[in-house]
Structures are given as C-alpha cells and as structure tokens.
Structure 1
Amino acid sequence: MNFKTIAIHAGHDPKNHLGAAMPPIYQTSTFGFRDVGQPGPYDYSRSGNPTRAALEECLAALEGGRRGFAFATGMAAETTALMLFSSGDRILVQNDLYGGTYRLFETVFRKQGITAEYVDLRDLDALRAALATPAAAIWIETPTNPLMNLTDLAAVAGLARAHGAITICDNTFLSPYFQRPLDLGIDVVMHSTTKYLNGHSDVVGGALIAKREDLCDRIGVLQNALGTCAGPQDCYLVLRGIKTLGVRMEEHNRNALAIAHWLQAHPAVSEVLHPGLESHPQHSLALKQMTGFGGTFSFRVKGGEAQLYKLLRGVKVFLLAESLGGVESLIDHPATMTHASIPPEVRQRMGIGDDLIRLSVGLEHVDDLIADLDAALAQ
C-alpha cells in the first residue's frame, strides 16, 4: 500500500476492537490473567499496552522496520538507545546536533564511561580516520538541527558495517514521509514524535524503529526494564496525528520552500540554510536520499543583536517558542533557546552563531507568513 494508506490503517484492525474505527485508548495499568501462571497478551502496561502496540506497529510500517518502540519523550528514546552501549564504548557523533542530545552525551553518559567523539559526517575521509580506532556506533542527524547539514546515509552505513559499528539516525526533521534511513542501511531510526509525527504540539513522545532482530530484542528488553515507554493517551494522540502526516508534510514542504526562496532575496538576510535550495552545498545529496525537504530550516540575519531581537519580537503569526513540526509556525533562536545548553565556544565552533534563526513553518497561508516576516524584518 501507499504511504498515506499505511499511515491511516497500520497497527489497527477494527475487528479486534468491537469495530472501533479508531484505536481505543486502553487507559489501564494492569490486565487480568487467564489463570494462575497464564497471562493474556498483556499483563502490565509498562510491558505492553494495546494502544501503544498500535502506534509501534504503525511506526514500524512507516519506516520499513521490523519493530517500533514508543517512548515518553524524545530524550527517553535517546536514553534507551544509548543504554545499548557499555562503559568504555566510543560513539562517533554528528558534530553539530540538537542541544539536548549534546547535553545527554556530555552530562550523563560521559560519566558512565560512554564517550562521544564529534565528527563532521559530511566528510567521509574524516569518518574513515575516526573509524581507524574501534567505535561502537555512529550517531547521525540529517538534516542537522539547526544548521541543516546532510549525511550521506548509504555511504555512512556502509562504512559502519565494515567496521562493526551500529548506526543510529534521528529522522525527526523529515519523518518517514520524506526519508527512510532503514532503506539506506541504517540500523536504528529515532524520532521525537512530539514533532511532525504528532504534528499538533499537544504531546511529547519519542520512538525507535529497527530492522535487525537482535537490536529489536535488545531495545524491547531495555524499554521494559527502564520503564521509558509512552503512556496510552500520548500514543493515541501520536497515532491520530500520523493519519494526516502525508498531507501535512506536503504543505509544510511547500510553505517552507517558498519562504526560503523569499528570504534568500531579502536584503536583511545573509544566508539561508535549506537543502531544497540550489545554493545549499548538499542539494544534490538531498535530491538523492530525500523525497522532500520538510518544514524546518534556518537563516542568518544581518545587523547584530539589536536587529535580531527586533525580528524575534516583531513577528505576530510566528510564535517565539522551542520545538517544531506543529501546524502552527514557530520561530526559534538556537543560541538562547534549543541549543543554550551547549557552551558558547562549542556553539561557535559548530557554526551556531547569535545571528542564526530557525523556523518551523506551519500550515498557515504562506502569504500571511511571508507578510509577518517581512514586517518584522522591516523593523
């Protein structure tokens, strides 16, 4: 079946739920046993819940994986993924990435003996050099948050396999509608389901999807042992959002690309970072491994801090807020918001300067969004 059909039907069979067209919310902590020592398909909601199972089956179908796993937050998904590793393991990590992920590596897992080594994954020679020393995994964001750098997934997956490393790819920015990393050889796909998968800014959640049976088994054990799973109400909300994922992503993509082209010609803007623009240095790679560009991108503003703050305070339709992927448009200043947990000198080395703005372009009429930015930039 096609993606939009799978998004609506995968994970739920009405015949198994009294004909209910939508997956019911099984808001229960425990389930009765059939007899002594004979549990039914579910016994305790940390170990499994029918609403969560519906979401997890849908996620696996959308990403082309064997199993999906739903978590309470995106960071819970990342934490569970990192528990696949042991003290002494070395992980090669995208050198520009989400601030919360950087904080998790540096303030939590480094103390546990799991070391992150930051590598520019655009540079395959640099990756080969880093792999000369054994590494347990390669941690990828593509596009990166917020610089919109891309990783050649097929090439990195091939190098990782040759060196015995697991590949983990954050696919939050594009969703499986525009990119399917497992099809390109990646081992584990990760999502903040808070973002495009849910799409309505009314839930937080995370997901891992894998194709290899051994990894599926290990993630399943960790999800249960750590108790990082998502609750049934949150799973229901993500499932509801997924049903419109295809149509939403198409509109996000159209709106964001139109705004990126408009910003590129604006005299107050010094650079637009959007992989759908021919000016993006990895535009050809975007066309090769992505079927669309998503609704989130960044740009740089001329004029210093005063002009930047006028823009952030001047918008009326865009909401100054963290997160992305909702139906409403958001504007974010990474240096003081989503990436504030990264030390300033590290941010500068990454390229996340004070002049950088990130947009999550929503589903409002694109003319209204451009008019809002135009008026704010005019200030």
Structure 2
Amino acid sequence: MSDTTGFSTRAIHAGQQPDPTTGAVVPPIYATSTYAQDGVGGLRNGYEYSRSANPTRTALEECLASLEGGSRGFAFASGLAAEDTLLRTICRPGSHLVIPNDAYGGTFRLFAKVHARWGVQATPVPLTDLAAVEAALRPGETTAIWVETPTNPLLAVADIAALAAIAHDAGALVIVDNTFASPYLQQPLALGADVVMHSTTKYCGGHSDVVGGALVVDDPDLAEKVAFHQNAIGAVAGPFDCWLVLRGLKTLAVRMDRHCDNAERVAAFLSDHAGVSETIYPGLDSHPGRELAARQMRRFGGMVSFRVAAGEQHALDVCARTRVFTLGESLGGVESLIEHPGRMTHASVAGTELEVPADLVRLSVGIEDVEDLLADLGQALD
C-alpha cells in the first residue's frame, strides 16, 4: 500500500493480499510451528519456525507498520512483552530512561520491579514540563524518553515533536505508547518519535477478545535489532491472536470515530454534573493540553476520567452501580468499561510518586447508544 492510500484502505488491505492458492480474501490462520524446507537451509519464503516468523503474524506486522508509517512492525504476546523486548534491545546495565510521572501502572512496575534489578534506572517526570524533562536527562546515560500521550489514567497530553527534539539533541530515543490514541488518531513517527508501542489488546483489537502488543519502527538498523530480540526472547503473538487483531484493525477508523463521538458527549455530561468535581478529557476547553491535542491528534479519543466530589467511597459506589458500563480493567473494546484506578489498574503505584487520586474513576467509552451511557452514569452518580 502506498503511503498516500487512505487509512481505512490500508487497514483493510495492507499485508493482506488474497490467498494465492484459494483466493481467500481473509488471511488464513497458519496454525503451524514448523515449515518444510526445500533442502537443508532452503527456506520457503523465509519461513522455518513460527517463533521466528509466521505468515499470519507477518500480515499483521505489515499492516501495523503501514498504519503507523513505519518500515517494520513487530507483534508480541502482550503490550508488556513488547515493552520488555524493546527495553532489552536498547538498554544495558547503567542505562537511564525518563518516563511519565503518571505512567500506566504495569509500565512503571516493569521499570521499578524488573529492569531496575538489572541496573536500568527510570526517572518519573511530568512530560508536559519540557524544562523538567530536559533537566532529568543524563548525557551519555539516558537511552530514551518514554512517552504516553494521552497518559493513563490522567490523560495528560505531551508534545511529541518537542520531546523528540530534546531527546535527539541528547542522543536519546523517543518511544511513544500510542495505545490510548490508536494509529487512527495519532501518528508519533511522523512527529519525530523513533518507536511506537501498542497494547493491541485495546483499540487495535477492539473487541476484548485478544491480548497482544506491537512495536513499529522506521530506522532499519533499530528494526534489525528489535527483530533479533523478538526472535531471541520469543514473546511473540500466536497466529490466532494475530488474526483477531487484523480483523479488529479493519474497522478501527469507524470504531474510533464512534468512541470519540460518545466520549465527547460523556465528558460534557460529567462536566455539568454536581457530583463530579473534575472531568478530565483532552477535548474539553478546561483541559490544559486541548490545543496541543487538537494539533497532533485527529480527534480526542475515547477515554474519560473524572473525580467524584464526595470522595473515594462514593467513587467506589459509582463503579459498583453502573449497569451499561461494565466494571472491569482494560479499555478500547466496543463495550463501555468503568474502573477505579487506585484500587485496580494502578494499584501497583500506590505509595509512589505515581499514585493516582483516590476519588478518580476511569471510563473507556464504548460504541453503545450514547443516551444509554448518559442515563447509566446519571443513575450511578445520583
């Protein structure tokens, strides 16, 4: 697919040519571990063992690379598997990274509880404060700035282009976790990032039926290093999981537009509700990053967070009372989810500088009829 081909056209066709044997328009699920070789070392189309490569995974990786505007895509068993593989690719004992001070709890746990034991240090910084980011860099030691934008769960918006300029001046990479935005809403590589990471479990898959992760890079040398570590470490996505994510990507654009439509209505509703002390959504005029989000995102996304005026117990009560919103972790599926980050997704950062407010509720706004979502939140709050 040409880079000038439309997003949805690439999502449906990139890496997914009709099967040459049968003409099937949907890529087959190649449920195989090994491949017959044409003589010793004679690999047929480069396939020898499915940890190294699998045709279904190749289709997904080519599609993701096309959607993110990169040269190579890599599919993994989970978002954290993708993160771990990337860190082992670019870091060594003594490496240092700058990370968001409101990063996803699982990402922080990976840095603080796993890679710290191997001499990799991470400094949490508000990425919206460019001076603080620059001050946190350690010349000769800082390997990368790890970016979430919008962040999870406080939905802060970071300036990818500005962070890329700062990082590259210091000889560091910029890695963007693009899970919340999805490839449809935001293109980090075009803004100067070096690596894009996804939990494909979320919007890319879109139906809460698969766990996966991905990396997309543009630099050929970095791509070769990631490819080596993907094979050497082996935390790859299985063929059925790849097929499910491919299926989800075909409808990503239409789903994201509906997610955004509904989230905008939900955010406006919560902003006017007496039981809500603060509504956090990049599309609201009250959000400090609204102007930046409007520049670097197509729309403002499907995630909304809010703080319950009466405190933590009432926030827990709201989570328990919804009927259309399902109480559950994860995000990005067609169904709406509600959760209490302090007790659920971000429990691992309790007691650290990344601890989230106890009265915070996070919504993954789905694609149901929006009037039903508003009525459900209204009865839960009232």
TM-score, with length taken from structure 1: 0.97
Contact 1:178 1:291 in 2 (8 A): yes
- In the TM superposition, residue 17 of structure 1 has moved relative to its aligned partner by 4.7
Give the alignment partner of residue 149 of structure 2, picking from 118, 131, 142: 142
Give the match's secondary structure for 2:20: helix
1:110 aligns with 2:103: no
Supply the AA of the counterpart residue of 1:283: R
Give the percent of matched residue pairs that are identical in Structure 1 and Structure 2: 55
Are 1:87 and 1:114, in contact at CA under 8 Å, matched by a contact in 2?
A: yes
Once the two structures are TM-superposed, the CA of residue 160 in structure 1 deviates from its matched residue by 0.9
Once the two structures are TM-superposed, the CA of residue 40 in structure 1 deviates from its matched residue by 1.5
2:26 to 18, 22, 27: 22
Q: 1:127 aligns with which of 133, 156, 171?
A: 133
CA distance in structure 1 between the aligned counterparts of 2:366 and 2:41, rounded to whole angstroms: 51
Residue aligning to 2:259: 252
Distance 2:350 2:94 in 1: 25
Kindly indicate whether residue 46 of structure 2 is the aligned counterpart of residue 39 of structure 1. Answer: no
CA contact (8 A) 2:128 2:159 kept: yes
Instruction: Answer whether contact 2:281 2:287 (CA < 8 A) is retained.
Output: yes
* In 2, Cα distance between equivalents of 1:345 and 1:63: 33
Extract unaligned runs of 5+ from structure 2: none
Name the amino acid aligned to 1:6. R
Letter in 2 for 1:165: A
Partner of residue 183, structure 1: 190
C-alpha deviations, 1:44-68, integer Å up to 9, x for none? 0000000000000000000000000
Alignment of 1:298-337 (within 5 A): 298-337=305-344
Cα RMSD between the aligned structures?
Answer: 1.0
Which of 94, 101, 104 is matched with 1:98 structurally?
104
What CA distance in whole angstroms lies between the structure 1 residues aligned with 2:200 and 2:50?
20
Q: Tell me which stretches of 4 or more aligned residues in structure 1 moved more than 4 Å.
A: none
Correspondences of 1:276-315 after superposition (within 5 Å): 276-315=283-322
Matched residue of 1:260: which SS? helix
Helix, strand or coil for the counterpart of 1:324?
A: coil
1:94 deviates by: 1.1
Q: Secondary structure at the match of 1:136?
A: strand
Task: Indicate the SS of the match to 1:23.
Answer: coil
- Aligned equivalent of 1:194, options 201, 224, 228: 201
Q: What is the aligned partner in structure 2 of residue 60 from structure 1?
A: 65
- Pairing partner for 2:347 from 336, 340, 347: 340
What are the Cα deviations for residues 67-116 of structure 1, in whole angstroms up to 9, with x where unaligned? Answer: 00000011100100110210110111111110000110011000011111
The 2-side partners of 1:79 and 1:130 are apart by 22
Quick one: distance in 1 between partners of 2:305 and 2:139?
A: 34
Q: Which residue of 2 aligns with 1:203?
A: 210
| 1:300 counterpart SS class | strand
Q: Is the 8 A contact 1:17 1:24 kept in 2?
A: no
Q: Deviation per CA, 1:140-167, whole angstroms, max 9, x where unpaired? A: 1000000000110001001111111011
Moved more, 234-243 or 129-138: 129-138
- Residue 37 of structure 1 and its aligned partner are, at CA, apart by 2.4
From 339, 358, 379, the counterpart of 1:375:
379
Number of the residue aligned with 1:214: 221
Classify the secondary structure of the residue corresponding to 1:207.
strand
Q: Give the 3-state SS of the residue equivalent to 1:223 in structure 2.
A: helix
| Partner secondary structure for residue 284 of structure 1 | helix
Q: Distance in 1 between matches of 2:328 and 2:191?
A: 33
How far did residue 118 of structure 1 move?
1.1
Please list the CA deviations of residues 298-327 of structure 1 after superposition, one character each: whole Å capped at 9, or x if unmatched.
Answer: 110011233222211110000000000000
Take 2:366 and 2:130, find their aligned partners in 1: how far apart are those partners?
Answer: 34
Tell me, yes or no, if the aligned pair for 1:335 and 1:347 is still in contact at 8 Å.
Answer: no
Distance 2:56 2:132 in 1: 44
SS in structure 2 at match of 1:111: helix
The DSSP-based 3-state class of the residue aligned with 2:353 is: helix
SS at match of 2:299: coil
| One-letter identity of the residue aligned with 1:10 | A
Match of 2:171 in 1: 164
Give the whole-Å Cα distance in 1 for the aligned partners of 2:290 and 2:41: 58
Deviation at 1:38, TM superposition (A): 1.2
User: Which amino acid letter does the alignment assign opposite residue 275 of structure 2?
Assistant: A
Query: Is this contact kept in 2: 1:189–1:210, CA < 8 A?
Result: yes
Q: Which runs of 5+ in 1 are unaligned?
A: none
